[in-house]
Amino acid sequence: MLGFMGEFDLIETFFKRPPRHATLGVGDDCALLAVKSGQQLAISSDMLVEGRHFLSTVNPAHLGHKALAVNLSDLAACGAEPKAFLLSLALPEVQPQWLAEFSKGLWALADLFQCDLIGGDTTRGPLNICITVMGEVPADQALLRQGAQVGDDIYVSGHLGDARLALEVFRGQ
């Protein structure tokens, strides 16, 4: 139980939608994701911890976006097409307005990449967000770090280090 709203009510209210790619999504003990013939399942997971990766003052919609974006970038790095993700949340308390904004940012990015939320977990605790994302990549065609060679082009977006620099500035360091 997470305050006045139980776990299943919280999921139903903020995080349940019909899946596009999964044969079974949110609401059971496991999700089921079919992988096309000739494809491999690519999986990545990242955790964001309040105070370490973001401050309590961050806009919840931006945080929802960031939580999924850091995982989607890992799929992109290996050449995989996003299909689905799991969301695990530790919440100090249930704040419906915060959850509405957080899920708004999360859904906007999920919709852009047609990536289904198919399960996860919620519990009470210090704010912690963990997303595990899954995608498909043609068999034996994943772009791996070990495949990098001298002379290869490297692409990045945005400005490297800006997020970390901003966090340190907000911390007064």
Q: Which residues of the chain have pLDDT under 50?
A: 1
Query: Which fold does the domain 7-138+153-170 belong to in CATH?
Result: 60s Ribosomal Protein L30; Chain: A; (3.30.1330)
Tens-place pLDDT, residues 72-103: 999 998 899 999 999 999 999 989 999 999 99
List, as one string, the DSSP characters of 107-166.
Answer: HHHHHHTT-EEEEEEEEESS-EEEEEEEEEEETT----GGG--TT------S-TTHHHHH
Angle formed by the axes of helices 60-77 and 96-112, to 10°?
30
* Other Cβ atoms closer than 10 A to 10: 20
Domain spans in the chain, listed from the N-terminal domain onward: 7-138+153-170
Rounded to two decimals, what is the model's pTM?
A: 0.76
